[in-house]
Amino acid sequence: MGRDRNQDEHATQCNQRVVSLQPIYDIAEICAQQGVTHAIVCPGSRCAPITISFSRHPAIKVRTFSDERSAAFVALGIAQQTKAPVVLICTSGSAAYNFAPAVAEAFYSHVPLIILTADRPKEWINQLDGQTIQQNEIYGRHVKKFFELPADHTHPDAVWYLYRTVNEAILLSQQGQQGPVQVNIPLREPLYPKREETITFSKDLKIISEEKNTFSLSEADWNYVQQQWPLHKKVAVVGGQDIYSAALTAALHVSTTIHAAVLIGDVISNLHRIENTVKYSDSFLAHGGSEIKESLRPELLITFGRSVISKNLKVFLRKYRPAQHWHIQESGDVADTFQSLTRIIRCNPTVFFEKLNSLVIESDFEHQKRENFKSLWKAEEHKTERAITQFFAPPQVSEFHFLHEVIQSLPECNLHLANSMTVRYANFIGLKNDKDNVTVYSNRGTSGIDGCTSTAVGHSLASDKPNVLITGDLAFFYDRNAFWHNYDLPNLRIVVLNNHGGVIFGMIDGPGELPEAEEFFITQQKLSAKNLCLEFGLEYARIDTTKKIKNVLSDFFEMDGKPKLIEIDTDSKKSKQVFEQFKQLIRKGYES
């Protein structure tokens, strides 16, 4: 008995669907073969074929988050933690726009993200079809490159192009300065497989490999360094924000010892492990007079890494410019942050300092000149360190004092610092050398408050290591959807400094003196983190007295399988007053 016409049409449609979507399904396989192990999916219909293929791939861990803005920062956190690209998937329309803050942060923080944005076919753009916007190059110059796949995959050349493009995008995200790439994927209906269909991945797919560049020091650059190095007896090395590297740390330790170079690093530089790193330049450069600053002027400045927090360090180096400024960077655009750049050395910083350490050490007399310059910086550092110790010695009910106690008590962990006042507080407090098992992260690419919590959540999902987030109330409540998902976070610890407003606008020059400050800048709010903890299942503790903090912290840092949050409830006016007292004490050392 023959099949009827409807059965034949149904079989034909199923076969066409399998044929047309097979290259889309194979994107997951290409990603897996290129080393991708994590993907974040935001629910939607247009992205269904992409979502299904990734969710069914055995080599990729896929998680789903409903809020695209939070999801993208979670992906960023996972990529930072794993040091590998993470795939980020969304449906068509405004969903893709919600990735934008995290995409910009990834671009400036050099984090590899593969952004797969589902789209309508070209003929339906601007035709009043639902969830349809102009997605081409939606992230502008905040991605390394925009790619678009063909909407039709029936011709072999179209399939070849699709496979080649996906390979290129993944490789590009990891080349030189890593960063995000967008792959826009127009998809025709039908989007969903039939229940009886089995999704498989093609064999012998086109995979393009590439050996990563080691970024060795060129012969020309090395000859230049050898020629110039003996000419400068006042050498300062400034490390910008960077991921922790044991090899770089070891090389810098040798450089600052045998060559007596001054090493300066903010809390986000991860250089606190190195003995004699100058951590408090932001404090003493704010108050030292012109005579002191002139004595601290380097002849040769060597920089690497990304941004620095310290405004006073930037102002100092722009005014007291060195004769030469070398910046060590593998690839990409180089910023002349201190307005003194004289040479770009295209090299891995670890390779550079290891090579520098092979230079013959100067005579005792010449070496002593370098030591004398280093001693001037150390003297200011130690003076400031004593004042900081004095300031925090008597306990006070203030967020600054509480935060000092938290940082002093940190166990081995990833320390996440939210933007605005939190990261500045932590920079003034600093990390001691004995915190060599603490690695610092902060979204300082764009320095926004929008995804600080979600980024920490991403780290927590990708690592069993304790992750401690210190955040202000506005950053915390702004990103509350970081907890709107179904995944356990047993290794996440959060400290919320709740001064009920954007206290930084009361502390920096300008807005604090305006009549509009309270409503339009500080933006007071009355929320408590307790309700959020009840809603999302976090263990909650509140600190408002000095007696509570020791006992609460002991329980807080115990890894017992539950996410925990401490809310430090303070007043914004008191916070401003205490911070002014801190600055006055530092200033006092330069007035006597």
- In the chain, the percentage of residues whose pLDDT exceeds 70 is 92
- Residue type at position 492: L
Report strand pairing: 61-64 vs 86-90: unpaired
Place of tokens 């920096």: 508
Token code pair at residue 468: 């401690």
> Where do the H-state alpha helices sit in 329-363?
349-356
CB contact set of 88 (below 8 Å; sequence gap of 6+) = 39, 40, 71, 72, 75, 99, 113, 114, 115, 116
What's the pLDDT score for residue 508? 56
Token code pair at residue 26: 């194979």
Range(s) for CATH 3.40.50.1220 in the chain?
219-384
What's the pLDDT score for residue 501? 63
Rg (CA), the chain: 27
Q: What is the pLDDT of residues 479-534, one digit of tens each?
A: 999 999 999 999 999 999 998 765 555 555 665 565 655 655 557 667 899 999 99
Averaged confidence pLDDT in the chain: 91
Return the biggest CA–CA distance within the chain: 106
Q: What is the pLDDT of residues 540-574, one digit of tens each?
A: 999 888 888 878 998 999 999 999 999 998 887 88
**219-384: what fold?**
Rossmann fold (3.40.50)
CATH, range 394-588: 3.40.50.970
Token code pair at residue 341: 């750049």
Q: Which CATH class is domain 20-186?
A: alpha beta
For residue 449, pLDDT over 70 is answered with yes
Q: Where are the beta strands (DSSP E) in 258-346?
A: 262-265, 300-304, 324-328, 343-345
Range(s) for CATH 3.40.50.970 in the chain?
20-186, 394-588
Q: What is the pLDDT of residues 95-140, one digit of tens each?
A: 999 999 999 999 999 999 999 999 999 998 888 888 889 999 999 9
For residue 7, pLDDT over 60 is answered with no
